[in-house]
Every structure is written in structure tokens, then in C-alpha cells.
Chains A and B, each alone.
Chain A
Amino acid sequence: MIDAITSGLDQVLQWETLALMIGGMLIGFVVGILPGLGGAVAIALLLPFTFAMEPVQGLVFLLSMWIVTGTAGDITSVLFGIPGEATSAAAVLDGYPMTKKGQAGRALGIVLTSSAMGIIFGAIVLGVFITVIRPLVLILGPPEFFMLVLLGLAFVVTLAGKSIAKGMAMVALGLLVSYVGSDPSAGLPRFAFDQMYLWSGIALIPVVVGLFGGAEVLQLMLTRSSIANGPLGDAKLTGSMRGVTDALRHWPVVIRSSSIGVVIGMLPGLGGTVAQWISYGQARQSSRNPDQFGKGAVDGLAAAGATNNAKDAGSLIPTIVFGIPGGAATAVLLGGFLILGIKPGRDMLTTQLDITFSMVWTVIIAGLLGVVLAFALVRPLAALTKISGPVMTPILFMFLVIGAYTANNSWGDLLVMIGASVLGVVCLRWDWPRVPFLLALVLGKMLEQYLNLSNTLFGSDWITRPGVILIGVIVVATLFLSIRSLRRDHRARLADEPVKGACSRVLQTIGRKK
């Protein structure tokens, strides 16, 4: 075991391999910053360049590129409100409001530090548990996955904001949108209105880009001022270093979020888009200041940053152990492994354990170097937010268009992005929550797919499986805690608001007495 660990490190620290790692990181950094261009696209585009490489060199090149895209994706989320990746959308909610207050450096400090902590946590879990995780993951079948998706949806109550009814209505809309396209059992189109584009369903990336990025760019065009109106912060603890200490101070949130990222990332099919919202939801639920969420909450941003990177290490576990990719990017990565002659499965845990550990080292080294690179660029990147709005608008507009169009190279994606932007603006203007819509859109298809599989494989018996019951209890507990927390917030608000009617007066009196 120790031999494999040192041999893995030795293989990564060869100068040729390190040079390839830095090359991959730089490409990953650019790809991560460009909205819509995810790690999967980058790996697919650069796969042919690895044909002539040694296996370890090739995997280091691809892995380092992929790992850095997550970190870089958070940067545009924080600075411009446009998620660089679909998995970086949660960072927009608290990162961008901080940027608007002139705390871009601090926000980047938080998200990058929590990213680094998430990477280290994820890599340790990857290294330690890769050999013992096999039986655990084998226990889970479609019914347990269905329940896990349901657990993700249960967090909607926490993320619904002030009104559960509004949140649930947005969930219903999100679910309906996710069911557009061919149905999973018969393959017949639903809600497609005879449009070929809709047969394959609504792509996620244009929705994410429009819902968050479109609305922010419109605001920038309306205000015609720079993104940040406050001062950028002094060189000492008021800027990025303050963010570092903020993230370190919130280490329990970072560890919890990293754990969620690793576990959800490990489960094939769920992926980081789900992990970030579950993590964000738990951070809000356990926060002392849940009202600050969406307005620049440090713990919210730390949770988003940590999850985004920890989940990458988690998704490598089923890819390496079973050859089952955890998401789109690991699916392409798996193709890369096979091209390089690396066969996932038993060999990776026995005869080729050194290669497995070279992956672990790559995750750690490339991840941390990516964070260092981003930190080196914090001041110039934060300074971008002080550039006048009209100067930034054309660039951000291009980000939106390219980000949306690259999903399927279709005009339909641009229309979806415009529609999502309108929805985002309506939600922002009249205080309807956007996150439940997005979460339902992500989870809706998975929910149906796993339900179908469960029914086909086990009939109705799947409900009595121990894993299903256990996760069901967690779902109920989550719902209970979320509703209780929401009612507590509501009571606190009522106690502060002016008295309206008899009922409100009674509630206010009770609230004050408590």
C-alpha cells in the first residue's frame, strides 16, 4: 500500500508529467471560466492529444484539466453572477451579492479556500476508501437512488425562501420542464408540441446560464454601473485574506459540505449539480443566520465551494472501482482511461494500485495548484468587477450566448436561455425562488428513471428495502427540520413587522413572549 502511494507520487512528479499537468490546468482554467464549456467538453476536445502519451501522463493531463474547471467555474459565479459550470450555480447565490457590495476579493477568498479544503478532503476519501467502498456502493440499487433523489427534492423546502407555496409551485414547474421530451419507458414524446428540438428534452446548461447569468447581465445593463459599487478592500484582511480566514472559521460547514459532495459525487447519475444544492440546503438549515442566505452568507458560499471540488474526487471512486462514471465528465474521462490502456475495476485496486494513487496525487496537486493560480489572479480578477458596466456588457453577453449555444449547438438552446432569463428576471423582481425550479429540473428526470427501474426490477417490493426505509426516514427528518426552521423564521419576521390583523397580533404577542 505504502509502496503504491509513493510510487504514484513519484510517477506524477516526473518533469514531463508535471509540465503536462500545468498545461492541462491552464486549459482547464480557461474552460472553467467560459460558461457552458464544462469539463466533459474539454476532456472530449483534448482526448486525441493523449493518444501518444504514457498512461500516467495522459491521465494526469486529463484529470488536472478537469479538476481545475470546477475551481475556475466558481470564479465567474462570484464575480459576474454567471456560473462557469452548471455545478457552480450555488456559488452565485451568495458570492455575487458579496461582489456587488465590493467584497469580491473576500468572496473569492472564501470560495477558493473552501475549494482547496474540499479537494484535500475529497482526495483523502478517494485514497482511503477506494479499497473498502466497493461493497458499500454495491448495496445501493435503483430504489435507493430514487430515495436519494427524493432527499435532494426535500431540500427544496429549505431553499424555497419566505413562501413554501411559491417554492413548491416552482418545483412543479421545474419538474414539468424536466419531463419535456421522450418518456423513459415507451420512448414517446411528451409535451414536445411537435418540435424535434424538444424530443431530447430541455438542456440544463442554457437554463442555468439564463436563469442566473441572464438576469444578472440584464441588471448590469439597467444600472449601467460597474458590478461592484463598494471599495475593493485593502490589501490586508479586508480582501481575499479575510475570505481565507472566513472559510477556515467555517470549517464545520466546509467538512459537512465536502462529505456531501464526496458521497453524492460517488453515486452514479446524481452528480455535482444535485450535490451543490443539497449541500447549500444543509448549510442554510444549520446556519445561525439563515436570513443571510442569498444575500452574501459566508457559510453558504463556503458550502458551495467545498462541494464543487469534493464531488469530483467522489465521482472518481465508482469510475475507478466499477468503471461506472459518476457523471458526464467522468464518462468522457472513462473513455480516456480506456484509450490510454487503463482498465477500471479489480486491477486498479490490486496490480495497478500505483496508477490509482497517481490519480489521487493528481487531484491533490492539480487542485491545490489551481487554487494557488486563482489566488494569484484574485486582485486582477476582482478588479474586473470595477470596470464600467457598458464595457463589461458585450463580453458577458458573449459568455451567455456561447454558454447556451454549446449545449447542443442549436438555436433552440438560445431560445431556452432567453426564456430562462425572463423567468430569472420575473423571479428576482417579484421574489419567487429560482433554486427550487432548477433543482426540480435537475432531479425530475432522474426521479422518473429510478422509479421506472425500481418498479421494473422489484415491483412494489422495493419500498420495503432497508436502504429505502433508512433514506425515507432521513427524507422525513429533513422535511420536518426544514418546515420547523421555516416556521421559526416566519414567526421571527412576524414579530418584527407592523401589526396587520387580529391573527397577526396574536402571533406577534406569542413571538415576543417566546
Chain B
Amino acid sequence: MTTQSANANRTGVPDLVISCVVLIICGGALALSVTYPPAVSLLLPRLAAGLGLLCATWMILSKLISLARQRQEAGAARTANPVHVHTGEISAPAEDDDEVDPNDAEYVLSHTPRRVWLTTIGFIAGFFLVLYLCGLFVAAAALSLVYLVTVGKKSWLFSLGYTTVLTGLLWVLMRWVTYIPSPPGILLPGG
């Protein structure tokens, strides 16, 4: 497979999947709208769902045609000159890397190692679990302390000081200054 077709696959297949999701959502909304009583105004929701269906179908068809064409060209190139294709495969990513901005969101999200992804998602899931169980202040303190020590590689002293200041400020701001309710935990409603 040539680099070009590999790139097309990389962008084409996710686009295809997202378009299918849009198609399902819009199709579902359209189907659901039929079940509502006539009194409910559904003109604009139906138009929106129709627009979504149209765009998603267009995207799916154009992506399928484009992917099929890429595969055909890749197959033809492979049979015509396999050595040339091979070198192209090796040299192209290096050229790509020169042009790429390492701060670009797309680059960050696509080039982060799987282990870092899993750790990050683990922290986010853990934070929301503690938030659900113990409330905002406990979750803030837990996330701050554990994250700084394990991911930030900061000392225990620094992490403890930072956590105390952050949680304290949060408490003062929400309980004494603005009186804004914070998410309560099911185990510690005041936490």
C-alpha cells in the first residue's frame, strides 16, 4: 500500500464511521419523530434530521468511492513497481514529520502512546468516580495529590501544599464567597 492510500485510509475510515454514527442518530431522530402526537411541533427537527441524513449519506458515498479508488490505484502501483512503492513508504513519514506542528491538536491526539492515553482516561474516570462518591472537595484533593505525585513527579511536600491550597481556595470560593452549590457525593454530601 502506498503512503498516499494509507493516509487516505487513516482519514477516510474514521470519517466513514463518524458519518455512519450521524446517519444512525439522524435516522433515529426521524423515526422517533413519527411516534410523537400531532400537537408536537416537529417541522424543524424533521428538517434537521433530514439534513443530517443527506449530509451523512453524501459523506459515506463519497468516502466509499474515494477509498475504493485509492485501493485500486494502490493495487495498480504495487503490481507496476513494488520496489519504488516500498521506498516511498519509508521516506514519506519523515517528510510528514518535518511539516507537522507538535502542538497541533490532531497530532497530539493521534501520536500519544496508548499507555499515556490509558493513564489519562484512568485519571479522568477515577476523578468522576470519587466525585460521585465523595463530592467535589474530596475529588479535587484526591486528583491533585495523586496526579502531581504520579504524573507530575513532584515531591510529596509540594503536592500536599498544592493540594491544601487548591482545595482550601475552592472551599472558600464556593462556600464563603459565591455560595454556589458544588456536586455532592452520595457517601459524603458535604464533601
Contact = CB atoms under 8 A, between A and B. Distances in A.
A165 B63 CA distance: 12
B151 A185 contact: no
B37 interface: yes
A183 to B, nearest CB: 5
B130 to A, nearest CB: 12
A398 B18 contact: no
A167 to B, nearest CB: 9
B48 A175 contact: yes
B174 A186 contact: no
Interface of B: 4, 11, 14-15, 18-19, 22, 25-26, 29, 32-33, 36-37, 39-45, 48-49, 51-56, 58-59, 62, 69, 73, 102-103, 105-106, 108-110, 112, 116-117, 120, 123-124, 127-128, 131, 136, 140, 143-144, 147-148, 151-154, 162-163, 166, 170, 174, 178-183
Contacts, number: 177
Contacts of B22: 169, 172-173
Nearest to A394: B144
Given A172-B48, A183-B40, 11 more contacts: A165-B58, A166-B55, A172-B52, A173-B26, A224-B152, A391-B162, A401-B131, A402-B174, A440-B48, A444-B44, A498-B4
Contacts of A425: 109
B112 A176 contact: no
A176 B47 CA distance: 9
Nearest to B103: A100
A428 B103 CA distance: 12
**Range for the number of chain A residues in contact with chain B:** 35 or more
A186 B25 CA distance: 24
A402 B169 CA distance: 13
Contacts of A172: 22, 26, 48-49, 51-53, 55
Contacts of B170: 398
A173 B45 contact: no
A448 B105 contact: no
A157 interface: no
B59 A428 contact: no
Of all A-B residue pairs in the complex, the 8 with the closest CB atoms, nearest first, are: A172-B52, A390-B152, A175-B48, A169-B55, A394-B144, A186-B39, A428-B105, A429-B109
Contacts of B163: 394
A506 interface: no
B52 A169 contact: yes
A183 B41 contact: yes
Interface in A31-47: 37, 41, 45
Contacts of A451: 43-44
B26 to A, nearest CB: 6
Contact of A394 (B4, B33, B73, B166): B166
A425 B117 CA distance: 13
Contacts of A428: 105-106, 109
Contacts of B152: 224, 388, 390-391
A52 interface: no
Contact of A190 (B4, B14, B40, B153): B40
